[in-house]
Chains A and B, each alone.
Chain A
Amino acid sequence: MKGQVLDASTSEPLVGANVFWEGQASSGTITDSDGRFSLPVLNIPTQLFVSYLGYERSTRLIQVRDLDKLQRFYLKPEDFSLEEVLIQERRGDEQVKNLELGKSSLSMENLKALPALFGEVDLLRSLQLLPGVKSAGEGTAGLFVRGGSADQNLVQVDGAPVYNASHFFGIFSVFNPDGIKKVDLYKGNMPASYGGRASALIDVSLREGETTRLSGEGGIGTISSRLTLQGPLLGEKSNFLISGRRTYADLFLKLSSNPDIKNNQLNFYDLNGKASFILSEKDKLSFSSYQGSDFLGLSGQFGLGWKNWVSAVNWNRVNSDSSFFDLQGYHSRYSYQVKFDNEDNGFDWNNSLSESGIKATWTRVIASKSTLFWGVHGQLYHFAPSDLKPSPNNPINRKQTPGVQGALGNAFVGLTREFTDKLSGELGLRQGVYAQLGEGKVYQYPGNAPTDSDPSDSLFYGPAEVMQRYQGLEPRIALRYMLRPDFSLKLSYNRNFQYVQIASNSSAGLPIDRWVLAGQYIRPIQSDQVSVGVFHNFDQNRWELSVEGYYKDLQNVIDLRNGARILLSDQVETELLSGRGWAYGAEFLLRKNKGKTTGWLGYTWSRAWRQIDGISRNEAYNPRFDRPHDVSLVLNHQFSTAWSAGLTFVYTSGQAVSFPVGSYVLDNQPVPLYSDYRNENRFPDYHRLDASVTWKNPDRGRKWKGSWNFGVYNLYGRKNPFSYDFRVLYNNQVNYSPEDGEIVSTRPGVVMTYLFTFLPSITYNVQF
């Protein structure tokens, strides 16, 4: 019997690997300098074992026909296993000893093991399983972190912001899981080097390519396919990774018998790439780019498309063992287009916004117990005019909103210090100076009250002229005290200012949502958060336990007045109401990172409030995402090298909503009557169980490895409401309308829409 033992990741021969027949370890052999071996055959079929220090052991059943050819065994380095990757990224006692409060990290290996809607591994939806993170509703990827709105989260890819991180109106997030290395969620303490949003930072890192060989992976799923290629670029000192994903949801449309749906288009794609260059022993340069687009087409005439294009360049320099420098530049652009091809009624409506930035960070280790970092971050916002152009025969006027610009300069400094063996802290300051810049026009209103009266005058500003200026100092403090080696207490205080926000009052984001910059009538959001937490590891760091509490105060949050028309208005300020918000809660997390069974159990009790004059009779109300109780259970189990399974269970309080308190007749039709107080009712509690099973093809030494994933979303078919519609029911039927024929009876009714009950999916993944 002849064979060869090779490294699975590099295909390089392994010298000195042990090879022996089952039960005869003492009479085995070792591989030579080419990784080859020769072993006498005694009794077959029987198992052959191949082992090598630092690599996973390989076992293969050898039959007579296998003796004719050279058998290749590819051994995987042990640090390719899930547990080892986690150990590399986080020390076992990391959560107890670090200064991080309200931070969660997930590796893509974690995420890929979770059951997913349509089998699509989704980064943002997976974060909803963490304590303190709420969802707006069934199937949506928007995140509401510790009582903050979705636009108060900074979602960034390799340091560059993404303005609309969702596909399909929020059902999926824009991140192709194969192109991502990990995601860090900061919901409490944020280092002074980050800022710009009031509630959370979702920091996504793209993967780098391998430097040794060209490899790839991909998958064919229920609604999309993926392909990733990576490898060396110009020798071993540079590498690339390019990853793409494309949906074919249009196929589902074809299944419909309704021609109005059948002839439509609905698809999205993502493309991200990264190239890294080791310029010298001290310098590394990397380029990252993400582009993604959605398109919805109706009847070949109407189209809605939206697109993100995000690029970043990062230069990391190691000046010495104690001195580092990072320079980053980025540009992020988001645009959408709505088009109706029709000679008489057609139009073409375009809008885009962009942010460009440059950030420099210096880090100096002062002695062994202190680290100082400081830097500057400049940001330039450009929100282009929203432009609706009618077709030549369409008699409506062209409509343009004015464009708007803003510049934000930040300086930050932070010190991390180990004061005593038990007490450590991070003290940071961030100073932002913001200016809304011309060219532009600002309407003036009597009493400076845009919502109460028509403009009395307007002021014009020239290009780059300062229209409005704001500034804010943002202190950041984090302290950790070790009560025991495995038990710590942490405290933090954070202030953030946010100078851009979405003017909307629906809970789920739309691609045409209007972002507005701080100006004369829109003040920046100010967020102040205090958190406290206890962290405990036990059973040799196999288990992590944390309990965190927080209180967050938000100033200058906006909402819309009744019937506001935002999208094409050049007087947005007349449609906005402003007020304050606050949120508080306690988060419990028990997590197991090692062993065959991993996962976590999370429970959050929290409340979120808003008080905005002009809404709910000026009294405090709960936003829709206020869901006081939130339980999530996530489990993964590795049954064998081939079989693994994942399970998630979520249970949350229902969304806060307004139900009618009566009805009345107006214009000869019934109209639901609502209370003046907002969101005093609740949907029923939401719960759902998802499960998945993964089967990996045993390593047979082939150049490629495949795996199948079978999943079921909402295993027990819970009918969680998506919406309640209060309307007249004709002939006691939910979907009967007067156009359908004779009306026998009419009465008021409530129609519940629910999505996704027992939704199976299948995905085939391959690595080569």
Chain B
Amino acid sequence: MKKTWILLLISVFLFSCQEEVFLDLDQKEGRIPVIEGYWTDQGISNEVKISLAKNYYDSLDQESVRDAEVFVKELKTGRKIAFRYLEATRSYRPNPSERAIVGESYQLNVNWKGQTYQSEGLMLAPPILDSVVWNYEKDRPFRGEGYFIKVYGKIPFLDNNQYRIRVIENDTLKNQREDYLLFDDTFGLQVFEKGLELGYAFQKNDRVRMELYRLNKDAFVYLSQLVNLLFSDGGLFSPPPQNPTSNIRVVSGKGEVLGYFVVSPVLTRTVVIAPK
């Protein structure tokens, strides 16, 4: 919302201009590993991506780390679930039959070039997802015109209420900074019972897949800080930019690590927008 005001303010005077510039940017010494781990109750969602940070002006291609040892440990039993690197997905994946069990705590372990990285998470129970409906809506402020999807369900929990909905539209993850759908119980959770509207206008025949995650707080905070950072425009009204606080730590060896680890149930629904 704040962004809208500022954009308006700048455009108000019609005197603001934009142009591309080239700045002489500092470079980080060494290449920092970036770990993105998902451990869920859906075999297809379980993967760990490891890549390396690079200089700002380098190409956008991701440089994957292929030679790390990756496993998730079930903390109660000490059982290790190994992940293997798959070139097709450029990520580490476990046996598809392995999945997280509600109530268990898990620890991600990554060993690479003498460094060990760890993170923990508790597998929380999933909320109840009842139905998904869509309706055509005429042009509305801040929403536009098109087909809008509402998700109905129930959240019966008193705590650990941090959620993310990932939306994949025609095989493309909606991951622009304004696309992130993160919510907690700050404003209550009735909105989920009365129909949570996804803020995207879909088109006829769009195939839309929704994934609802119930996150541990540290992963939710990480993603919230990531969205803040993506919205930072370097202007006076933005807080000073900071890297999101990772829930992964370096337990042996030197250096830093970026990224986050999610342990979460996943509820999915797929709909095709077919005009009624």
A674 close to B241 (CB less than 8 A): yes
B8 close to A662 (CB less than 8 A): no
A751 close to B244 (CB less than 8 A): no
- Interface-lining segment among B27-35, B72-80, B120-128: B27-35
Nearest CB of chain A from residue B211's CB, rounded to whole Å = 13
A664 close to B237 (CB less than 8 A): no
Q: How many A-B residue pairs have CB under 8 A?
A: 225
Nearest CB of chain B from residue A260's CB, rounded to whole Å = 9
Bitwise, A303-337 to B at CB < 8 A (1) or not (0) is 01000000000000000000000000000000000
Taking CB atoms and an 8 Å cut-off, the chain A residues in 714-747 that contact chain B are 719, 721-726, 728-729, 734-735, 738, 746-747
A663 close to B9 (CB less than 8 A): no
Residues of B within 8 A of A304 (CB): 5
A666 close to B15 (CB less than 8 A): no
A755 close to B16 (CB less than 8 A): yes
**Counting CB contacts under 8 A, is A675 at the interface?**
yes
B243 close to A674 (CB less than 8 A): yes
Residues of A within 8 A of B188 (CB): 395-397
Residues of B within 8 A of A338 (CB): 1
CA distance A676 to B140 in the complex (A): 41
A752 close to B16 (CB less than 8 A): no
A748 close to B56 (CB less than 8 A): yes
Taking CB atoms and an 8 Å cut-off, the chain A residues in 627-676 that contact chain B are 657-676
**Counting CB contacts under 8 A, is A276 at the interface?**
no
- Interface-lining segment among A502-510, A587-595, A600-608: A502-510
Most buried by A among B1, B221, B241: B241
Using a Cβ–Cβ cut-off of 8 Å, how many residues does chain B contribute to the interface with A?
A: 75
A302 close to B236 (CB less than 8 A): no
CA distance A716 to B258 in the complex (A): 45
Nearest CB of chain A from residue B101's CB, rounded to whole Å = 26
- Tell me the nearest residue of chain A to B195, going by C-beta: A395
Residue in B8, B32, B59 whose beta carbon sits within 8 Å of that of A673 in the complex: B32
Known A169-B6, A506-B236; contact A663-B20, beta-carbon cutoff 8 A = no
- Tell me the nearest residue of chain B to A563, going by C-beta: B225
**Counting CB contacts under 8 A, is B26 at the interface?**
yes
Known A249-B12, A674-B242; contact A563-B236, beta-carbon cutoff 8 A = no
Most buried by A among B1, B54, B224, B242: B242
**Counting CB contacts under 8 A, is B191 at the interface?**
yes
B221 close to A563 (CB less than 8 A): yes
CA distance A735 to B93 in the complex (A): 38
- Tell me the nearest residue of chain A to B228, going by C-beta: A563
**Counting CB contacts under 8 A, is B238 at the interface?**
yes
B238 close to A399 (CB less than 8 A): no
**Counting CB contacts under 8 A, is A136 at the interface?**
yes
Residues of A within 8 A of B10 (CB): 722, 753, 755
B187 close to A624 (CB less than 8 A): no
Most buried by A among B14, B23, B57, B245: B23
**Counting CB contacts under 8 A, is B94 at the interface?**
no
Residues of B within 8 A of A669 (CB): 175-176
Residues of A within 8 A of B14 (CB): 252, 255-256
Taking CB atoms and an 8 Å cut-off, the chain B residues in 24-57 that contact chain A are 25-28, 32, 34, 36, 51-57
CA distance A390 to B190 in the complex (A): 12
Known A507-B236, A728-B60; contact A665-B51, beta-carbon cutoff 8 A = yes
CA distance A296 to B8 in the complex (A): 9
A562 close to B236 (CB less than 8 A): no
B15 close to A757 (CB less than 8 A): yes
- Interface-lining segment among A439-447, A577-585, A677-685: A677-685
Residues of A within 8 A of B60 (CB): 665, 670, 728, 746-748
**Counting CB contacts under 8 A, is B4 at the interface?**
yes
B9 close to A395 (CB less than 8 A): no
Nearest CB of chain B from residue A92's CB, rounded to whole Å = 41
CA distance A660 to B188 in the complex (A): 37
B242 close to A562 (CB less than 8 A): yes
CA distance A598 to B41 in the complex (A): 77
Nearest CB of chain B from residue A133's CB, rounded to whole Å = 17
- Tell me the nearest residue of chain A to B36, going by C-beta: A666
B242 close to A296 (CB less than 8 A): no
Taking CB atoms and an 8 Å cut-off, the chain B residues in 143-192 that contact chain A are 173, 175-176, 186-188, 190-191
Taking CB atoms and an 8 Å cut-off, the chain A residues in 475-514 that contact chain B are 505-508, 510
**Counting CB contacts under 8 A, is A140 at the interface?**
yes
CA distance A298 to B7 in the complex (A): 12
Residue in A395, A505, A723, A753 whose beta carbon sits within 8 Å of that of B240 in the complex: A505
Known A169-B5, A296-B8; contact A506-B238, beta-carbon cutoff 8 A = yes
CA distance A255 to B228 in the complex (A): 32
Known A562-B245, A667-B175, A725-B234; contact A673-B258, beta-carbon cutoff 8 A = yes
Residue in B2, B12, B59 whose beta carbon sits within 8 Å of that of A253 in the complex: B12
B28 close to A668 (CB less than 8 A): no
CA distance A534 to B42 in the complex (A): 75
**Counting CB contacts under 8 A, is B265 at the interface?**
no
CA distance A255 to B234 in the complex (A): 28
Residues of A within 8 A of B8 (CB): 261, 264, 266, 296, 298
Most buried by B among A506, A667, A722: A667
Residues of B within 8 A of A748 (CB): 56-58, 60
Nearest CB of chain A from residue B26's CB, rounded to whole Å = 5
**Counting CB contacts under 8 A, is A448 at the interface?**
no
- Tell me the nearest residue of chain A to B260, going by C-beta: A666
- Tell me the nearest residue of chain A to B29, going by C-beta: A661
**Counting CB contacts under 8 A, is B87 at the interface?**
no
Bitwise, A220-253 to B at CB < 8 A (1) or not (0) is 0000000000000000000000000000010011
Residues of A within 8 A of B4 (CB): 298
CA distance A15 to B172 in the complex (A): 90
CA distance A660 to B59 in the complex (A): 15
- Tell me the nearest residue of chain A to B230, going by C-beta: A671
**Counting CB contacts under 8 A, is A695 at the interface?**
no
Nearest CB of chain A from residue B217's CB, rounded to whole Å = 10
Known A396-B191, A671-B230, A748-B60; contact A756-B245, beta-carbon cutoff 8 A = no
6 smallest CB-CB distances across A and B, nearest first, come from A397-B188, A723-B235, A508-B236, A396-B187, A664-B53, A395-B194
6 A-B pairs (CB sep. < 8 Å): A169-B9, A338-B1, A507-B236, A664-B52, A670-B60, A748-B56
- Since A562-B244, A724-B234 are in contact, a sample of 5 more A-B pairs with Cβ atoms closer than 8 Å, ordered by chain A residue number, is A169-B237, A506-B239, A563-B244, A665-B51, A750-B20
Q: Which residues of A contact B (CB under 8 A)?
A: 136-137, 140, 168-169, 171, 249, 252-253, 255-256, 258, 261, 264, 266, 296, 298-299, 301-302, 304, 338, 342, 390, 395-397, 399, 505-508, 510, 560, 562-563, 565, 568, 624, 657-676, 678-681, 719, 721-726, 728-729, 734-735, 738, 746-757, 759
